[in-house]
Structure formats: structure tokens, C-alpha cells
Amino acid sequence: MEYLSILCVPSIILIVIISGFLGKVKVYDAFMDGAKEGLVTVFKIFPALVGLIVSIGMLRASGTLEIITNVLKPLTDLINMPSEVVPLALMRPLSGSGAVAVLTDIFENYGTDSFIGRCASIMMGSTETTFYTIAIYYGAVGINKVRHTIKSALIADFTGMICAAIFTLVFFGK
């Protein structure tokens, strides 16, 4: 199996080159055109990314996550969601790297096999970095009206968070 995984990437590259040759496509020129297009996309989305990263840093540094966690504790207790995963639930729609940092902190404090660690793991896999994804994809194609997308995506994220707590309880107990 290890041998197969080692050959996977070179095989894909070889297939692309052979397909381009058989289709009479100038592979190098197509690659360069794609690279140029990629750089244009990076410059289009860069301001949105900088704003997102700065705002997330400010949110974490200000202590706002801890305040929100304390306010939501009665609600999380009602649905058997550990309040310790609330910072992850708040960070996940904003930033993947911020969510990974929060998840790592949860693992260090509570362990990976604890109820809290398992709930956080399921939550991480059941939700999306909504605002980051919208900033990247919609910014790349110039879409500005994202109201319904954000509403739908946040409802899906909220559902994933609630289900993470329920499934952790059902499959692993407390």
C-alpha cells in the first residue's frame, strides 16, 4: 500500500502530460496560463483574507470567546454539549487555522479520547470554515451578494455542531 501511495502523484503528473500530448495541448503553456490566473486570484482575495485573519486575532486576544462561552453555558448544558467546545464552535465558521488552534488547545487540556475531545473532533469534521470559504470562492469570481449563502451555511454549521454533541453522547456516552 505504501508503494501505491508513493507512485500516486508521479502517476497523475504523467497522465496529465500524456493526455496533453495526445490532445495536442501545449502543457507547459497551459500550466503557465493557469499559474498567472492563480496569481490574479490571490491578489483579488488577499484583502478579504487579511481582514478575516486580523479580526480573528482580535477576537481571540480580547477574551470575547471566554465571555461568550460563559454566557452560553446554560444552553450548552441543556443540550449536553460541553461548554469547553463553544470556542471551537464559534471559531470554526471563521477560520480553519484558528479552529485547529482551539482544537489543539482542547486536546492538550482534556485529551483526545475524552468526551470533550471526541465532541470537538466530530464538530471539526461536521462543520465548515464558512466565512473563509465564502471569502475565497465568492471573492475569486466577484460575487458580492452572499446573504442567503451565509444564512444557509451558518444553519448547516449550527446543525453540525448540535449533531456533534448528540452523536458523541450516543456513540461514546459521557
36 inside domain: no
Residue-number span of the structural domain to which 167 is assigned: 44-172
Domains in the chain, number: 1
Q: Per the domain annotation, does 7 fall within a domain?
A: no
In a domain, 38, yes or no: no
- Report the candidate in 7, 169, 165 with the shortest Cα–Cα distance to residue 72: 165
Q: Report the distance separating Cα 149 and Cα 159, nearest Å.
A: 15
pTM value surpassing 0.85: no
* pLDDT tens digits along 96-154: 877 888 888 899 889 999 999 999 999 999 998 888 888 888 878 888 888 898 899 99
- Report the candidate in 57, 67, 126, 48 with the shortest Cα–Cα distance to residue 93: 126
In a domain, 89, yes or no: yes
In a domain, residue 37? The reply is no
